[in-house]
Structure 1
């Protein structure tokens, strides 16, 4: 079992422990050595688990100062702390930043797909297949929010299968923003019958490349998918702008 997988399982156990003990925001967790012994893992794996939970806004780790349960979500539903607030607030204020998110995804997910095809285990591939099935079973035109969550889960399962802890950590930090981006994108895209088929084909191609162990093909599939999404969104924006101009001319 890889350290990444151990860290993910330890993160789940640690989160359950916090809930079971009824720890509140601001409560300090036991010392590293004691906590690692309780979980039966190395201190290195524990630190990685804590970093994962920190990136999700569940814990706050202060070098030399211990690890604490994070503050609860604010009234807007965003987790408190630096990991979530600034970028998410910026995106909510200006949806045009979704194109910035897509550019970041181009850089990260192409590499994630490459390494997932190269390094994924049987367990990783089974998890990706299951995430793909869940995505297919959740049509975006019926429930855009659930479809967005299923889409994010599929893409993040691929990132996880890359077995690159830094890449996973960055994507976990961007998860809230990524989910918002996907929800915004799919909420529009799946309303258009002309894009539903291509999106399904692209996801299937990405899945197949990873399952077949074709790194370059997987990278290309991920990047072509994101290019399609970006171009489709820009076309929709242009169409909407033309409609607005036509309406203004009619009202003049």
Structure 2
């Protein structure tokens, strides 16, 4: 067996570290296909054999998945060990909507403040694209696109905070947050005045980050959270009244 020289080992480890950092920073996302061995070898200036060994290490760690004929991708199960059992446990808990909102108030508040302080020019460009997509979606009747764009906007902010834990914790909880956003938007879409308020709130958050105003960004998120809290209360009241009316109808049925 040929022994790998220490310098070769260091080269392999440097590739592993760089690809791990790209995954942690969100440059490579779950499901993304990584560049070919040839392209990576050119980028790093090392042999394809070293690239192959680095990829094998990341596959062994569970960060990459290699499929026959499908190339190598970032695993879309990075967050599964945390999310799946936790989500299955709490998804039907009656306090989940409130608890998710409280968690988002803490997480989003810190994320926007840090994003306003730390966002690079590239982050600002990505945020502009995410906001443009969101604002365009809110001008249509495509609820599914509104939900996806809303979640993506907040995730982009989390990544622009340049805090690895915030970025990945937000990503890990996307399933819960997606359902939370979905329920809120379904309730709001039928009330144009409130829909317009929500649309304006997102613009205010985005402009505060773009203008590098952390305090204003935090205030804007708090106002957004208070508005969503109000919507949750009203939605719960509407549902309670609907069920009450339904019980009366059923009780009078022959």
Q: Give TM-score, length-normalised by structure 2.
A: 0.69
Q: Distance in 2 between matches of 1:130 and 1:142?
A: 20
For residues 54-99 of structure 1, what are the alpha-carbon distances to aligned partners after superposition, in whole Å with 9 as ceiling and x for unaligned? xxxxx784xxxx76649xxxxxxx9594233123324543475122
Query: Does the aligned pair in 1 maintain the 2:25–2:162 contact within 8 Å?
Result: no
Partner of 1:53: none
**Is there any run of 5+ residues in structure 1 with no aligned partner, and where?**
22-33, 51-58, 71-77
Q: CA deviation at 1:228?
A: 0.7
Alignment of structure 1 residues 36-185 onto 2, 5 Å: 38=51, 61=61, 69=65, 81-94=80-93, 96-139=95-138, 142-185=141-184
Q: Distance in 2 between matches of 1:6 and 1:248?
A: 52
Partner of 1:74: none
Query: Does the aligned pair in 2 maintain the 1:140–1:146 contact within 8 Å?
Result: no
Q: Distance in 2 between matches of 1:197 and 1:170?
A: 29
Partner of 1:195: 194
Partner of 1:248: 247
Query: Does the aligned pair in 2 maintain the 1:141–1:187 contact within 8 Å?
Result: no
Query: Does the aligned pair in 2 maintain the 1:135–1:151 contact within 8 Å?
Result: yes
For residues 220-251 of structure 1, what are the alpha-carbon distances to aligned partners after superposition, in whole Å with 9 as ceiling and x for unaligned? 11121012112112112112212322343344
Query: Does the aligned pair in 2 maintain the 1:113–1:158 contact within 8 Å?
Result: yes
Q: CA deviation at 1:5?
A: 6.0
Structure-2 change in CA distance of 1:241 and 1:12 (3 Å): closer
Q: Distance in 2 between matches of 1:86 and 1:60?
A: 23
Structure-2 change in CA distance of 1:166 and 1:81 (3 Å): closer
Cα RMSD for the two superposed structures = 3.5
Partner of 1:75: none
Q: CA deviation at 1:11?
A: 3.0
Query: Does the aligned pair in 2 maintain the 1:131–1:157 contact within 8 Å?
Result: yes
**Greater gyration radius:** 2
Q: Distance in 1 between matches of 2:183 and 2:25?
A: 28
**Is there any run of 5+ residues in structure 2 with no aligned partner, and where?**
1-19, 38-46, 67-75
Query: Does the aligned pair in 2 maintain the 1:108–1:167 contact within 8 Å?
Result: yes
Query: Does the aligned pair in 1 maintain the 2:26–2:159 contact within 8 Å?
Result: no
For residues 81-137 of structure 1, what are the alpha-carbon distances to aligned partners after superposition, in whole Å with 9 as ceiling and x for unaligned? 423312332454347512211111001000000011111111111111111110111
Paired residues in the alignment total 209
Partner of 1:28: none
1:16 aligned to which of 33, 39, 61: 33
Query: Does the aligned pair in 1 maintain the 2:130–2:149 contact within 8 Å?
Result: yes
Q: Distance in 2 between matches of 1:201 and 1:9?
A: 27
Q: Distance in 1 between matches of 2:234 and 2:31?
A: 45
The SS at the match of 1:104 is: helix
